[in-house]
Amino acid sequence: MHPPDHEAPSADSADLADSADSGHSPEAGRKEWIGLAVIALPCLVYSMDLTVLNLALPRLSAELAPSSAELLWIIDIYGFLVAGMLVTMGNLGDRIGRRRLLMMGAGAFAAASTLAAFSGSAEMLIAARAVLGVAGATLAPSTLSLIRHMFRDANQRTTAIGIWISSYSIGGAIGPVVGGVMLQHFGWGSVFLVGVPVMVLLLALGPFLLPEFRDPEARPLDFLSAVLSLLAVLSVIYGMKLVAQDGMGWVPGLAVALGLTVGVLFVRRQRTLADPLIDFRLFRAPQFTASLGTFIVGALVMFGAFVYIGQYLQLVLGLSPLAAGLWTLPWSGGFILGSILAPAIVRRSRPVFVLAGGMALGAIGFAMLSRAPSLGLTALVIGMLTLSLGFAPVFTLGTDLIVGAAPPERAGAAAALSETSSELGGALGIAILGSIGTAFYRQGMADAAPDGIRPEVLKIAEDTLGGATAAAAQLPEPASTLLRDAARTAFGHAFQITVIIAAVVTAATAILTLLVLRRPRGGAETAGEGTPAVNRPLADS
C-alpha cells in the first residue's frame, strides 16, 4: 500500500505544521485500534529490556566472568546503539516502508534476544546486545510514524500517542517484577527470552493489522549522513556518560568535542542535500522547536533526578532493592495515568497551557523531592507521583506536536528526532545533574567526615555513597556508624540541592514555553477549519 503523492514541504512554518493534516481527517476504526495494541507490545518489551538486565548482572557475572570493561559494554552497548541509530532508522522507514522496517526489526530483535539468552561468553553477549540495540532503534520511529499515519484525527492521535507512551511506562514498571520472577525459576538468560513471543506475535499480526506507508519519491539513504549522525550521537552520549561516572577529564571532553564537531558537519551536509536525514526547515515552525526544546529539558531533569532516587531509597533510607523498586511504582503509575488523561486535558485546554502547566507541576514535584531529607519517604513518593503526572502530558503532547509538524512522508524522521532528543536529554541530565550532585556530596563529606578515618578509606567514601557504605562496613564501631551517617547526610544535602536546581530549570522552561508559544506570528499561526488540535495555533486567537 502506497500513499498518494505529496508536495515537497514548504519552508514556511505554517505549511510545515499544517500540510500533514489539512482538510478532513477521517477517524480511525476498530482495525487501527487493534493495530495500536500490536504496536504497543514491542514498545513495552523495549522498555523492559532496559531494566531487566540489571537484575541478572550478579548471576551473569558469576557465569560468564566478564572483565570490568566487558561488563560496562554489556550494560551500555544496547542503549548506545539505540540512540545512535534512531535517526538513520527513522529515515530508512520513510524510504522502504515503516511496516517493513518494523517487521525486520522485530525479527532481528527476537533472534538477537535468543542469541543473548544462550551466550556462552562475554564477547558473544556484547555482540548480541549490539544487534539488539540496532533492532531496538527500529521500534520507536516505526511505531510512532505508523501512529501518525493510522490516526489522522488529531484527538484520536493524541490518545494513541498517550497509549504508546504508557506502554513504555508499563514496561519499565513490570520489567523488574517479570525479571525477578524469571530469575527466581530460571537462569540469567531467561530475562532476554521474555520479548521473543511478543516479537513473534508482532510478526504474525503486523502484516494484517498495520498499513504500509513510505515516501514514494524518496531518494536513497545518504550513507555518509548516517555515519555522521551515528558518530555524533555516540560520541556525545559516551562523553556525557564518562563525565557522570568519573567527572570531567580530557577523555570525556575530547569525546563530546568530537561529537559536536561531527554534529556540525552533519548539519552542514543536511543543508546541501535534496533529501536530508533531518529537514531543518521543520525548526522554522515555532510549535516544533518549542516542543522539541521542552522535550529535551524534560528528559534532562527527569533522568538526572531519577539517578539519585534509587540510591536515596536504598542507601539513605535503608530499603531493600525489592522494596525500593516497589516504592518507585507510583512514578510509573503517574506516567501511565498522565498519558491516558493527556488527550482529555488537551481537548479542554490549549496545548501551550498543557505544556507549560505540566512543566510547572513537574517543578512542584521537584520541590517536594527536596523535602525528602526532612520528611523522608512520604516526600519522595508524593514528589515522584507529582513529577510523573506533570511530565506525562508534556511528553505525550510534545511527541504529538513534533510528529504532527512534519509532513506524513517525513514522519519517521521526525519520530526519530523526538526519540534521539530524549536520549540526548537523558544523557545530559545524568552528566550535568550527576556532576553537580557529586561535587556537593564530596564537599559535604570533606566537611563532615569523622576524625580518625584513614586517608585511603576516606577517599573511597568521598567518591560515592555506595563506596562510603562499603567502606563503613569494614570499620569498627563507632567509626562505622559515624562515617555512614556523615555520608548519608552529605548525600541528602547533595540530593536536595540537585532537585532544587531541577525545579528552577523546570519552572523557567514552563515560563519560557508560555511566552514563546503565546507570541503571535501573524498568518503563520492561522489554521483553517478542520485543522487538528496539535496544529492549531498555540497563541490566543
Q: How confident is the model over 158-193, as pLDDT tens digits?
A: 888 888 888 887 887 777 777 777 777 888 888 888
Q: What CA–CA distance (Å, rounded) separates 416 from 419? A: 5
Instruction: Indicate the pLDDT class of residue 113, thresholds 50, 70 and 90.
Output: very high
More confident residue, 348 or 20: 348
CA atoms within 13 A on the CB side of 62: 6
Q: Would the pLDDT of 409 be above 70?
A: no
Closest CA to 430 of 49, 70, 79, 46: 79
Which of 68-77, 289-298, 372-381 bottoms out in mean pLDDT, i.e. has the lowest?
68-77
Percent with pLDDT over 70 in the chain: 85
Query: Mean of the pLDDT values across residues 236-261?
Result: 80
Residue showing cell 566472568: 65
Sequence-distant (≥ 6) Cβ neighbours of residue 52 within 8 angstroms: 175, 176, 178, 179, 182, 191, 192, 194
Max mean pLDDT range (94-108, 178-192, 513-527): 94-108
Q: Is the dihedral angle over the CA atoms 473, 476, 477, 481 positive or is it negative?
A: negative
Task: Indicate the SS3 state at residue 169.
Answer: helix
Question: Are 367 and 503 spatial neighbours (Cβ–Cβ below 8 Å)?
Answer: yes
The model's confidence at residue 87, banded by pLDDT at 50, 70 and 90, is confident
**pLDDT classification of 529: cutoffs 50, 70, 90:** very low
Does the structure show a pLDDT above 70 at 381? Answer: yes
- Alpha-carbon gap, residue 323 to 329, rounded angstroms: 10
Q: Cα-atom radius of gyration of the chain, to the nearest Å?
A: 23
How distant is the alpha carbon of residue 117 from its chain centre?
Answer: 25
- Interval 48-73: pLDDT, tens: 776 677 667 767 877 888 876 677 67
**Distance from CA of residue 164 to its chain's centroid?**
13
Predicted model pTM: 0.71
Instruction: Please check the confidence at residue 201 and state whether its pLDDT lies above 60.
Output: yes
Task: Specify the amino acid at residue 494.
Answer: A
Most confident of 312-321, 341-350, 362-371, 453-462: 362-371
